[in-house]
C-alpha cells in the first residue's frame, strides 16, 4: 500500500478514537497527506530512504513551522512556530508525514499528563488511568495505534515512564545524541528528545533518523551515528547485566517486581550473566533533580513575558502589570510551583545550600554509574514503581507524583541513555523493563531489547 493509504489509515483512527483518548492537541491531516503524496513519488522514483512515507506524531514541544506549538500550555495556545525543530526538519526531509502534535504535561512538567492545559490523556488500556507523562500523548497515540511511531522528550523519565505505563517501547538517548534545537526548553542540561515505537526494531530506525550532530545546538555531540539496525540480532552470550540493589527495595510494587524478575530470567536463558551492583546515591536523585530542573526552568521560562509571542493579558496598565498578569494567567499550577522553587534555589544566600549542593550530588550519581559500567554492559531494573494510577489519584500530592520517577531520573542527571521495554502485565496493566546503558551505547541497548522481544 501507498504512504497516502497508510497515512489515511492513521488519520481515520485518530478521527474515530482520539475524542476518547485526547492524545492529540493538533491534527495536521492535510499536511500529512501532502507529505505522503511526495513520499509516494520519491518511492516510485527510487529516491526514498527507509522511513520515507511512514507517518508519525510529534510531541507538541517540538517547533513545527506554520503549525501551533503549545508545549501543553495556555501560554503558547496562540503560538504558531516560525521554524522547524531540527528533529522535525530531519524527518520531514525524508518525507515522513506528520499526523499531528501530541498532548503533554505543560512544559513537560509532570508524570501523568494531567498538567496539560488541554486536559488529561487517557491510558488506552484503561480509560480511568493516566498514560504517564510528560509525553503521555505520544505514548497513548502509539499504544492505541493512532500513530505507528512518535517523538517525545525525556528530562527525568518522560519517555520511559509513559512507555512503561502504556506497554510500548521508548528510548531516551544519551544527552547530546539528538539535537535540542527547536525543542521548547524545560531543563536544558537534562532535556533530550527520543522515540516511542511498538518495537526495538522500529525504535532503531527512528532514532537513527533523528540523531546526529547539529551546529545549532551547542551541546550536540559530534560523533558518528551507527546503523542501529545492523546489531539488533547480535548474540547476548556473555552479556553482563547489572541489577542495582537500590532499584528493588521497598517502594517497588511486588507485582511489578515479579514481572521484572521474570524478564531477567529470560535474559539468563539468552546467555546473559547477572551481576549484583549498587548505585548508592539513588535516593538523592529526586531531591537533586527537583532543585536542578526547576532552577533551569525558572530561567528558561522567563522568556514567556507577554512581549514578543505567546499569551498577553488584556489591557495591561504598565509593563510590570503585563508581566505579572500574563504569567499569572497563562502558567498552570505546577509550572508556577517549579518557577518559584527554582528561583528560590538560585537566589543569593540559598544558591550554595541548594543549587551547588545539588550539582555535587549530580556528580556523585554520575560517578556511581561509571563505577558500575566498569563491571557490566547494561543495567536493568523497573521503570516505574507501580503500574498506571487512576486519573486524579495523585493530583493533590506533588511529592507522591515526583516519586513516580524514582528509577528514571538518575540517568538523566548522568546524561546516560535509557529504555523502557514491555515486559508483561501486573494487575492487568503493562509493566516496562528499564535498560540503562553507558553513554552512546544505544546500539547495544536496542540489541538487548530486540533479543527479548
Ligand atoms: N516527571 C518529571 C518532571 O515532572 C520528568 C518530566 C520529564 O522528563 N519531562 O519533571
* Best CA proximity match to 169, nearest among 409, 357, 430: 430
User: At a CB cut-off of 8 Å and minimum separation 6, what does 348 contact?
Assistant: none
68-71: Cβ within 8 A, 24+ apart:
68/25, 68/26, 68/101, 69/101, 69/184, 70/25, 70/26, 70/101, 70/117, 70/118, 71/104, 71/106, 71/107, 71/108, 71/184
Q: How far is CA 10 from CA 89, 142, 143, in A?
A: 21, 10, 13
> What integer pLDDT is reported at residue 62 of this predicted model?
98
| CA–CA distance, 97 with 8 (Å, rounded to integer) | 10
Between the CA of 243 and the centroid of ligand 1 the distance, in Å, is 24
Q: How far is CA 75 from CA 84, 150, 203, 313, 329, in A?
A: 19, 24, 32, 10, 8
Pocket of ligand 1, candidates 72, 115, 158, 415: which has the most ligand atoms within 8 Å of its Cβ, to mutate? 158
Between the CA of 155 and the centroid of ligand 1 the distance, in Å, is 6
| CA–CA distance, 379 with 369 (Å, rounded to integer) | 9
* Best CA proximity match to 451, nearest among 349, 388, 378, 382: 378
Q: Which one of the listed residues 138, 158, 211, 326 is annotated catalytic?
A: 158
Does the model's ipTM exceed the 0.85 cut? yes
Q: How far is CA 121 from CA 55, 130, 135, 191, 311, in A?
A: 21, 7, 10, 22, 24
Determine how many CB atoms are found less than 10 A away from the CB of residue 15. 12
Instruction: For the chain of 453 residues, list the mean pLDDT of each consecutive stretch of 10.
Output: 97 98 98 98 95 98 98 98 98 98 98 97 98 98 98 98 98 98 98 98 98 98 97 98 95 96 98 98 96 98 95 97 98 97 94 96 98 98 97 90 93 98 97 98 98 90
Q: Which one of the listed residues 95, 111, 134, 138 is annotated catalytic?
A: 134
pTM of the model: 0.98
> What integer pLDDT is reported at residue 398 of this predicted model?
86
> What integer pLDDT is reported at residue 400 of this predicted model?
85
Report whether residue 297 contacts ligand 1, using a CB cutoff of 6 Å.
Answer: no
Burial zone of 333 (CB within 10 Å; 0-12 exposed, 13-18 middle, 19+ buried):
exposed
Strands of 56-59's sheet, edge to edge? 24-27, 98-102, 56-59, 150-153, 193-197, 169-172, 418-426, 429-437, 378-382, 240-244, 273-277
| CA–CA distance, 53 with 37 (Å, rounded to integer) | 8
Give CATH for domain 3-231. 3.90.1300.10
Whether residue 134 lies in the annotated active site: yes
Domain ranges of the chain: 3-231, 240-281+365-436, 286-353
Q: Which atom of ligand 1 is nearest to the CA of 109?
A: 4
What pairs with residue 381 in β-bridges?
A: 434
> What integer pLDDT is reported at residue 250 of this predicted model?
83
> What integer pLDDT is reported at residue 420 of this predicted model?
98
**Which residue has its alpha carbon closest to ligand 1 atom 5?**
156
pLDDT tens by residue, 317-375: 999 999 999 999 999 999 999 999 999 999 989 999 999 999 999 999 999 999 999 99
Report whether residue 136 contacts ligand 1, using a CB cutoff of 6 Å.
Answer: no
Q: How far is CA 163 from CA 49, 82, 120, 156, in A?
A: 27, 30, 16, 13
Between the CA of 124 and the centroid of ligand 1 the distance, in Å, is 21
Is 206 strand, coil or helix? Answer: helix
Whether residue 302 lies in the annotated active site: no
Report whether residue 447 contacts ligand 1, using a CB cutoff of 6 Å.
Answer: no
Q: Which atom of ligand 1 is nearest to the CA of 404?
A: 1
Report whether residue 158 contacts ligand 1, using a CB cutoff of 6 Å.
Answer: yes
| CA–CA distance, 292 with 354 (Å, rounded to integer) | 9
Q: Which atom of ligand 1 is nearest to the CA of 290?
A: 10
Between the CA of 424 and the centroid of ligand 1 the distance, in Å, is 24
Is 399 strand, coil or helix? Answer: helix
Contact (Cβ atoms closer than 8 angstroms) between residue 406 and residue 287? no
Amino acid at each position: 500500500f501507498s504512504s497516502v493509504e497508510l497515512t489515511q489509515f492513521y488519520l481515520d483512527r485518530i478521527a474515530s478514537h482520539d475524542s476518547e483518548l485526547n492524545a492529540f492537541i493538533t491534527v495536521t491531516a492535510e499536511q500529512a497527506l501532502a507529505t505522503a503524496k511526495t513520499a509516494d513519488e520519491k518511492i516510485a522514483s527510487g529516491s526514498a530512504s527507509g522511513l520515507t512515507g511512514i507517518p508519525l506524531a510529534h510531541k507538541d514541544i517540538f517547533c513545527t513551522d506554520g503549525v501551533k506549538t503549545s508545549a501543553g500550555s495556555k501560554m503558547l495556545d496562540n503560538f504558531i512556530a516560525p521554524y522547524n525543530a531540527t528533529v522535525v526538519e530531519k524527518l520531514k526531509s525524508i518525507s515522513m508525514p506528520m499526523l499531528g502534535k501530541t498532548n503533554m504535561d505543560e512544559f513537560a512538567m509532570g508524570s501523568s499528563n494531567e498538567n496539560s492545559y488541554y486536559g488529561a490523556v487517557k491510558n488506552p488500556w484503561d480509560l480511568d488511568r493516566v498514560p504517564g507523562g510528560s509525553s503521555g500523548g505520544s505514548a497513548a497515540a502509539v499504544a492505541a495505534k493512532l500513530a505507528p511511531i512518535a517523538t517525545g522528550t525525556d528530562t527525568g523519565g518522560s519517555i520511559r515512564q509513559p512507555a512503561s505505563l502504556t506497554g510500548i517501547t521508548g528510548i531516551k538517548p544519551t544527552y547530546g545524541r539528538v539535537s535540542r534545537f527547536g525543542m521548547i526548553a524545560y531543563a536544558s542540561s537534562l532535556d533530550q528528545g527520543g522515540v516511542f515505537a511498538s518495537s526495538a526494531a522500529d525504535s532503531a530506525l527512528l532514532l537513527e533518523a533523528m540523531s546526529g550532530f547539529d551546529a545549532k545546538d551547542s551541546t550536540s555531540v559530534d560523533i558518528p551515528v551507527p546503523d542501529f539496525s545492523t546489531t539488533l540480532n547480535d548474540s547476548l552470550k556473555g552479556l553482563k547485566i547489572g541489577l542495582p540493589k537500590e532499584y528493588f527495595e521497598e517502594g517497588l510494587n511486588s507485582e511489578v517486581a515479579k514481572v521484572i524478575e521474570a524478564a531477567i530470567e529470560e535474559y539468563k536463558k539468552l546467555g546473559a550473566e547477572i551481576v549484583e551492583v549498587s548505585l548508592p546515591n539513588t535516593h538523592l536523585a529526586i531531591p537533586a533533580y527537583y532543585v536542578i530542573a526547576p532552577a533551569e526552568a525558572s530561567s528558561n521560562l522567563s522568556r514567556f513575558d507577554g512581549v514578543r509571542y505567546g499569551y498577553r493579558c488584556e489591557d495591561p496598565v504598565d509593563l510590570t502589570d503585563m508581566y505579572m498578569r500574563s504569567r499569572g494567567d497563562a502558567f498552570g499550577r505546577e509550572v508556577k510551583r517549579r518557577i518559584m522553587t527554582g528561583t528560590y534555589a538560585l537566589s543569593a544566600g540559598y544558591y550554595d545550600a541548594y543549587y551547588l549542593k545539588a550539582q555535587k550530588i549530580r556528580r556523585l550519581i554520575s560517578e556511581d554509574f561509571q563505577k558500575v559500567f566498569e563491571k557490566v554492559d547494561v543495567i536493568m531494573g523497573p521503570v516505574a514503581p507501580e503500574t498506571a494510577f487512576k486519573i486524579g489519584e495523585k493530583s493533590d500530592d506533588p511529592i507522591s507524583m515526583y516519586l513516580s520517577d524514582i528509577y528514571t531520573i538518575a540517568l538523566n542527571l548522568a546524561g546516560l541513555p535509557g529504555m523502557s521495554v514491555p515486559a508483561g502485565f501486573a494487575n492487568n496493566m503493562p509493566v516496562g523493563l528499564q535498560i540503562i546503558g553507558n553513554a552512546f551505547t544505544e546500539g547495544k541497548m536496542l540489541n538487548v531489547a530486540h533479543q527479548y522481544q
